[in-house]
Amino acid sequence: MIQRIQTVYLLLTTILSVIFLNGHLIKFTGGQKNVLDISSAGIRITDNIDGSATLWILLLLTSLVLLILLFSFITVFFYRKRKIQLKLAGGLIILVCLLILGSAFYYFFVTLQYSGEIRLGLNMIILAGMLLVTYLAYRGIRKDEELVKSYDRLR
């Protein structure tokens, strides 16, 4: 059934991944009023003299977010095949963990390369929320599968 709670969780994962694509992950404020911004578009540096320039294009993070978006949306429509839906939700958890690790890698990479004050963005909270909501969807799918197995034993 499409009206199950895990469908809501999977759709929330999709919405959070779209929000993650549009926001800033981390901002570093340098001593010369330079702002270094990490987002899904890449690592951009903005200063008062030259304007802004893209230093790195973060293809890894962007592709992971797009895979999460695609997997979570597709997983909703496998409600009749719970075993496949369970495997897709498990893969989704792995993808979200990889996204968190990739974000942490870029965070430490930029911290080592540039100095400055760190201002964490809303997207760091979105990553934790995405992991939580994906886990809740996995747990709901697993509970449904166990419920169906228990009914099959009674027949």
Q: Which CATH number fits domain 5-147: 1.20.140.150, 3.30.70.20, 3.50.50.60, 3.40.50.300?
A: 1.20.140.150
Residue among 108, 104, 138 at smallest CA distance from 124: 104
pTM across the whole model: 0.82
37-72 residue pLDDT tens = 676 667 776 666 666 656 666 777 888 888 999 999
Whether residue 134 is predicted with pLDDT greater than 80 in this model: the reply is yes
| Angle, CA of 147, 135 and 119, to the nearest 5° | 165
Asked if 24 contacts 72 with a C-beta cutoff of 8 angstroms, the reply is no
